[in-house]
Amino acid sequence: MQFPHPSRTSAGVLTLAAALLLGGCASRGPLPTFYDFGPPAAPVAQTTSAPLPVLVIADANGPSWLDTQRMYYRLLYADAQQSRPYAYNRWNTPPLQLLSQRLKTRVAQGGVKVLSTTDAAAGIPLLRIDVDDFSQNFDSEKQSSGQVTLRASLFRGHQLLDQKTFSRNSRAASADAQGGAQALALASDAVAADLLAWLGTLNIPKE
């Protein structure tokens, strides 16, 4: 009876192990790429006093799909009612958290002292944000934009002082997840600027 040569046996085992390892890597697919809004743009020079001295900004509310790290897009030219997730692209933080932090940063850059709900004191106005849309929309296979729409409600105690809806659209530089992330960051910054300007027009009564 002939036995396998030791060197041949070892080579066969190593080849099998390598094939299994490569097969396992291939079955997992590409590693996901993570995106965020990047650093905020430099604040615009203040020409007037801050709209409010102190403001509490609550974390943004929105649909459940904005409270995950999945990146979604819509093919307006094919099926506008269907929201589709990217396979290998993610937000590094859920969009509701990204948007909340960006709005707080931009309002603070506008000269307002921004507090969280846990630091709120009686009589300080509270801004509540409800997000209606935050998505990358494809008008065609090669052209997309980032759409951000939200509703801002300003309260003092249980009294609604004012409410306004803001909507901004920013064209994406590329028809992919990277372009969508950049466009949504630009649209979010534009909404934040509109929000800050709106706050400056309000005549908040003193208690």
Q: Do strands 126-140 and 143-156 pair parallel, antiparallel, or not at all (unpaired)?
A: antiparallel
Block means of pLDDT (10 residues each) for the chain, 207 residues, are 44 43 54 91 58 89 95 94 94 96 93 84 89 95 96 92 97 96 96 93 72
Rounded Cα gap, residues 60 and 50, in angstroms: 22
Please report the pLDDT score of residue 197 as a whole number: 92
Please report the pLDDT score of residue 194 as a whole number: 95
Rounded Cα gap, residues 147 and 166, in angstroms: 11
Rounded Cα gap, residues 152 and 192, in angstroms: 11
Cα–Cα distances (Å) from 185 to 63, 161, 207, in that order, read 19, 28, 37
Please report the pLDDT score of residue 39 as a whole number: 86
Backbone angles phi, psi at 150, to 5 degrees: -145, 160
Rounded Cα gap, residues 12 and 98, in angstroms: 51
